[in-house]
Amino acid sequence: MRFRGNEVVGSQVLDDLRKASPDASRADFQFIKADLSLTTGIKDACKQVLQKAGSNGINYLVQTQGMTPNGRWEETSEGIESRFAIQCLSKFGLAASLLENGFIKDSVLFVAAPGTSTKDFDGTDPGMKKAKANNKYGFFSSAARDSVVIDSMTEEFAAAYPSIKFFHVFPGLVWTSAAANSGIPFPIPQLQSLVAPLASKLIGNTPESFADLPVYLTANPAAQYPSKYLSYNLKPISLSPWASDPLHRAEVFKALTSLYNPLEVA
């Protein structure tokens, strides 16, 4: 199954999957249209997964949704900063609801940026409204927030569901239009379009090459990995100092649950 807001792009992806499948007659690919910037959209997506997959559940949940930090503050109709809603809250909501329903059988993988050096963060306010009010919200602070929040989620989920594998993976520099789509100002998107084709081969991935990594980690029973926190080249990344504290992680988890209640999906 694939979540996306654009039905045209979603249909193209399904066509590509059918062409790549060794036995397309037996494969059942599904597209779910969802607005993951809203908690109502996250819950609706979870309900569609529960309905479409039925009692079999799903083996792997790989979450790549997100937006490049741009330092701007834009709220959804629910009053939640939109980048945080997609990058962090939707990842939490989809995983929490499907895990709570016993629907994930094997692995959960988050794609973002694990293990920053962050030592100071308010775990009671992952949406950073207090930081915004104090003029402390920006590109770097929101990027650091994404890392410690998803690190904390990964640790807390892994402790609560020991039979499930969890990963937080950094993709490196991936050549996409994400910078332009996220509203990052000139000339960064333009420079990226010039540099990324070469740089992604040296210090990162193309979308196609990176796609192999989540499949390897989640679906290959013989996969070798040194940590839950990994770079694009499978090198381990240390958990961030802030997220290493169990009390900090508990603060984040409680705050996320106050924004999105996974028990409301059944």
CATH number at residue 78: 3.40.50.720
Is 188 a member of any domain? yes
Is residue 73 scored above 90 in pLDDT? Answer: yes
Q: What is the total residue count of the chain?
A: 266
Is 250 a member of any domain? yes
Q: Which structural domain range is residue 177 located in?
A: 34-264
Mean pLDDT for the chain?
A: 86
Say which residue, 13 or 38, is predicted with more confidence: 38
Q: By percentage, how much of the chain surpasses pLDDT 90?
A: 63
| Cβ-defined contacts of 183-186 (< 8 Å, 24+) | 183/70, 183/72, 184/68, 184/70, 185/70
DSSP class of residue 236?
B
pLDDT in tens, 80-135: 999 999 999 999 999 999 999 999 999 999 999 999 999 999 999 999 999 999 99
Is 200 a member of any domain? yes
Can you tell me the mean pLDDT for 147-167?
Answer: 97
Q: How many domains does the chain have?
A: 1
How confident is the model at residue 133, as a pLDDT? Answer: 97
DSSP notation for 214-226:
HHHHHH-TT---S
Is 222 a member of any domain? yes
Is 257 a member of any domain? yes
How confident is the model at residue 21, as a pLDDT? Answer: 74
How confident is the model at residue 49, as a pLDDT? Answer: 92
Is residue 191 scored above 60 in pLDDT? Answer: no
pLDDT in tens, 229-252: 999 889 999 999 999 999 999 999
How confident is the model at residue 105, as a pLDDT? Answer: 95
Is 2 a member of any domain? no
How confident is the model at residue 153, as a pLDDT? Answer: 97
Confidence of residue 187 (pLDDT cuts 50, 70, 90): low
Confidence of residue 177 (pLDDT cuts 50, 70, 90): low
Q: How far is it, in rounded angstroms, from Cα 259 to Cα 257?
A: 5
How confident is the model at residue 5, as a pLDDT? Answer: 56
From residue 13, give the alpha-carbon distance in Å to each of 32, 62, 161: 12, 15, 31
Is 10 a member of any domain? no
Is 23 a member of any domain? no
Can you tell me the mean pLDDT for 203-226?
Answer: 84
Is residue 207 scored above 80 in pLDDT? Answer: no
